[in-house]
Amino acid sequence: MSTPPRTSQTRSRLTLLLIALMFFAPFGIAAFLRFTGWTPPQGRNVGTLLQPPIDLSGLVLKTADGKDYSWRPELNLWRIVVVPDPACTAECSKVLDQLHRLWLTQGRKADRIDVLWFGELPAGDVQFRRLIRMQPDARLAAALPEAARADAVPAYLVDPGGFVALKYEPGFDPAGMKKDLGKLVK
């Protein structure tokens, strides 16, 4: 019997080693990144993800005319919740205008987004079809992570099940919310 030449055997071992390295290297890199605590510099969403999400589905909310507002997850409606300060005027008008424009840009998906406005609407502002004026609710205001001020109005994106998923800081960019809604409302 003849033995294979040494160079052929070395080349075969090197090939096997490279294949094993290509298979195990991603696992090693992933383990290194995981155990050193590295995370990507920015998430995919523009709004701040609330962990754990706040469950609002147990709250019985009332519309401005006194009717119960039911969450009805089977309708697959997303909600933008705004709880303005009663003294809010100029900032509220700006936020309401931004939300109206944002709602219009959603096109055919706009009917799957309700804007829940808790409190009085600013005088002279435009009302649109899915803008629902709600009665102020102390339990809701207490459940949300940041209270509104007269000069700063945060907004919250609530999923169809009634969980507050994303928070938008006062002075938020509506283009960022549009980007998030584009991914979520399908």
Q: Are residues 87 and 7 in the same domain?
A: no
Q: Report the number of distinct structural domains present in the chain.
A: 2
Q: Are residues 86 and 143 in the same domain?
A: yes
Q: Are residues 3 and 79 in the same domain?
A: no
CA angle 43, 49, 52 (to 5 degrees): 130
Tens-binned pLDDT, residue by residue, of the chain (186 aa): 566 567 888 888 999 999 999 999 999 999 999 899 887 766 677 888 888 888 888 888 888 888 988 888 888 889 999 988 887 778 888 888 888 898 888 888 888 899 999 888 877 767 788 888 888 888 888 888 876 666 778 899 999 988 998 998 888 888 888 888 888 887
Q: Are residues 33 and 113 in the same domain?
A: no
User: What is the model's pTM?
Assistant: 0.73
How many other C-beta atoms can be found within 10 angstroms of the C-beta atom of residue 177?
Answer: 21
Residue 15: helix, strand or coil by DSSP? helix
Q: Are residues 9 and 60 in the same domain?
A: no
Give the list of residues 6+ apart from residue 13 with CB closer than 8 angstroms, or none: none
Q: Are residues 30 and 122 in the same domain?
A: no
Q: Are residues 93 and 154 in the same domain?
A: yes
Q: Are residues 34 and 53 in the same domain?
A: no
Q: Are residues 14 and 58 in the same domain?
A: no
Q: Are residues 31 and 88 in the same domain?
A: no
Q: Which of 82, 93, 98, 87 is nearest to 149 (CA)?
A: 87
Segments forming the whole domain that contains residue 128: 48-184
Q: Are residues 143 and 55 in the same domain?
A: yes
Q: Which of 176, 153, 155 is nearest to 165 (CA)?
A: 155
Give the list of residues 6+ apart from residue 57 with CB closer than 8 angstroms, or none: 71, 73, 161, 162, 163
Question: Under a CB-based contact definition with an 8 Å cutoff, are residues 106 and 77 in contact?
Answer: no
Please give the Cα distance from 111 to 123 (Å, whole number). Answer: 25
- 167: domain CATH number is 3.40.30.10
Please give the Cα distance from 106 to 185 (Å, whole number). Answer: 9
Q: Are residues 68 and 28 in the same domain?
A: no
